[in-house]
Each structure stands twice: as C-alpha cells, then as structure tokens.
Amino acid sequence: MSFLIAPSLLSSDFSQLKKEVQALERAGADWIHLDIMDSHFVPQLTFGPPMLKSLRVHCQLPFDVHLMVEKPDRLISPFQKAGANSISFHIESCEDPKALIQKIKSFNLKVGLSLKPNTPIEESFPFLKDLDLVLVMTVEPGAGGQTFLEHQAEKVLTLREKLNSLNYKTLIQVDGGINPDTAKKVLQADVLVSGSYILKSKDYKKSISQLKQI
C-alpha cells in the first residue's frame, strides 16, 4: 500500500492559494494539510478559518487541519464551519486531551493528536482507541523547510508496533522534512505531509508520484 500524500500549504505561494490547491488536486494529492499557527504556541502566524472557507469551494480534497495553537478548543467550531475534515491538536497544548478528542468527534470531524519531537510517543497511547490519526512531528513545529530529525523515525516504528498489538486502524501521519530519502526512514507511516519538497518543485505531479511509489 502506498502512502497517502498531504501537501502542506505552508510552503505554497500565498498569493496564489486557489491555484495551488487546484493544482495539487490535479497532481494526485490525497489531502490538503493546513498548518494553523498562532504566534504563541509556535512563533509564526499563519491562516485562520476564513482562508480555509474561501478555498473550500475550489477543492474537493479533504482539508487536514493541524492546530499549532494555545487553547485549541476555541477553534474547533470555526474550522468545522469553514470546511475542515480533520483536526489535529498538540498534546502539549491541552490540559485534557480526552475531552478535546470527544469535542472534535462531536463535530463529526476526524481527530488527530500531534506530538513535538521531545514528547515521548508513549504519551499518545492512552488515547489511541479514540483517534483517527497520530501526527508525529519530525521537525520542531513552527516553520517549513526544516531538516528531518533522524531519531524521530524510532517513534514511528514504536507507534506502529503498538497499534498492531492492539489491532487499531489509527493512521500514522509524519510531518517535517519529508522527501523521497526521508520517507524511506518512516515506511511504517500511512500519511506523509510534505511542504517544500512538493510545493517548491516545478512538477507537483511528479513529486507526489515519487513519494507514493516509495
């Protein structure tokens, strides 16, 4: 089975977002990944629900929202109304992950839990039964174009072994420095988020195809 590919709009041309999502859809992307940053949980500030809503009518792919924000519970309803299909939040940003997982599910959204590189993967284990995906960050969240952190590949393997032992279908998503070389280090993953490698290339279809064929 090949990876699902979720290009990250963080690396796109912000002045051409409509054309970018349409081009990615034609090129064979499976999801569109949207990195939501609030300049508090991470230094950068990116998009909000109005931007997602404006793109929703131009693209049929699932919109995969990654909240890198403080107090993520405040944004669930706005992003659901704007057209999100899934929302992932950081375990480090939330006092009660179980309650937030249930809140996201109550909006009929798929839910993911994300972990920074320094957070042990085992912290996700108590919540696996209720999650649609676990997002393993292979760079520090907050900026695109970073180098893949080699030691994070061990987390993906540990998580796969745990999911297999429980017979759970939770997807493993990997985000950070993904290209054909680094993708080979996380073969146990299901979904690859790739920003710079795809969006900075001249041929989106070729780049996406190369990742899917690994």
- pLDDT tops 80 at residue 95: yes
- Domains identified in the chain, total number: 1
Tens of pLDDT, residue by residue over 160-197, are 999 999 999 999 999 999 999 999 999 999 999 999 99
Per-residue CA distances from 176 to 24, 156, 193 (Å): 19, 13, 7
Residue 202 per-residue DSSP state:
S
pLDDT of residue 141: 83
User: Once rounded to an integer, what is the mean pLDDT over residues 28-38?
Assistant: 97
Q: Residue 203: pLDDT band by 50, 70, 90 thresholds?
A: very high
Distance in angstroms (rounded) separating the CA atoms of residues 65 and 68: 10
Q: Residue 143: pLDDT band by 50, 70, 90 thresholds?
A: low
Pair of tokens at residue 42: 């991470």
pLDDT of residue 146: 75
Cβ atoms within 10 Å, residue 146: 16
Q: Exactly one of 30, 38, 132, 175 is catalytic; which is it?
A: 175
User: Once rounded to an integer, what is the mean pLDDT over residues 24-32?
Assistant: 98
Q: Exactly one of 30, 35, 64, 190 is catalytic; which is it?
A: 35
User: Residue 123 carries which side chain, given as an amino acid letter?
Assistant: E
Distance in angstroms (rounded) separating the CA atoms of residues 182 and 170: 22
Q: Residue 1: pLDDT band by 50, 70, 90 thresholds?
A: low
Q: What is the pTM of this model?
A: 0.96
- pLDDT tops 80 at residue 142: no
- E strand intervals along the chain: 4-7, 32-37, 63-68, 86-90, 110-115, 133-137, 171-175, 191-194
- pLDDT tops 80 at residue 116: yes
Counting beta carbons within 10 angstroms of the beta carbon of residue 143, is it exposed (0 to 12), middle (13 to 18) or buried (19 or more)? Answer: middle
- pLDDT tops 70 at residue 144: no
Phi/psi for 87 (5° steps) reads -135, 125
Residue 175 among the catalytic residues: yes
Domain of residue 173, residue span: 4-212
41: CATH = 3.20.20.70
Counting beta carbons within 10 angstroms of the beta carbon of residue 61, is it exposed (0 to 12), middle (13 to 18) or buried (19 or more)? Answer: middle
- pLDDT tops 90 at residue 8: yes
DSSP secondary structure string for all residues of 46-71: ---HHHHHHHHTT--S-EEEEEESSS
